[in-house]
Amino acid sequence: MGAELQDRVAVVTGASKGIGLAVATALAAAGARVVAASRTSSAELDALADKHGLVWVPVNLTHAEGVSMLADTVGERVDILVNNVGSAPARPGGFLSVTDAQWQQTIELNLFAAVAVTRALLPRMLDAGRGAIVNIGSVNAVLPDPTVVDYSAAKAALVNFSKALSKEFGARGVRVNSVSPGPVETELWLGGGGVADTVSTAAGLTPEQVLAQAAGATVTGRFSRPQEIADVVLFLAGDRASNIVGSDFTVDGGFVPTW
């Protein structure tokens, strides 16, 4: 397992915490040379850099100069790209409470950042005739929620974007897939100002009650762990998934009903 991705160059956005940190950790442990992009670092990311030689790039990927800085740092070889950066601001007031500026911020972070980074790095994969792109979507792409209406729309667009890329570039050796988590044990849900905190205030519940309701909506009765998402990304990034193209993998403990 440690040599599965030996010496491959992997780029992970939003890598300082949560799913992004777990993905960066899994790729580095599998032998990849990881370039981690995020606005700020974290103690865990710093420790990962010390252990595996990970390179951290402090960038805001909603700005063109941030994308250019990341591309320049990566160099000419890119084998794996994981577009993970994103945020799901809770909108307890529903659609009419969301301003144009908030819509724009959400779309820029959850969709346009992935579009811009992919546009910058994809040509290097095409030149090499191989590569793997994994975009981190959400179950909200197919299960829209008015309390995250703008996030749901952005993630639906991201998953659609992934499928379109897979059709255009799969025959040229670049595999594009997406992973769509349900509720995950990250700050996005659990942190101060996160989904549970914001929704609880509006609904007259405690954050613990909101979390219990969300966990209770899964078959397994719990949130997914970041490492469980990272394990799927690791599989899709490697040669074991060499004929998986244009797929979306749901990891949600049965949160979305299926028939």
Catalytically active residues, by annotation: 151
Sign, Cα dihedral of 166, 168, 171, 174: negative
d(CA 254, CA 45): 31
Please give the single-letter amino acid code of residue 88: A
User: How far apart, in whole angstroms, are the C-alpha atoms of residue 21 and residue 44?
Assistant: 8
97: left (phi over 0), alpha (psi -120 to 50) or beta: alpha
Please choose, from the candidates 67, 49, 109, the residue with its C-alpha nearest in 3D space to the C-alpha of residue 85: 109
| 99: Cα within 13 Å, side-chain hemisphere | 3
Find where tokens 């667009």 sit: 157
Q: Residue 3 has which token pair? A: 């040599």
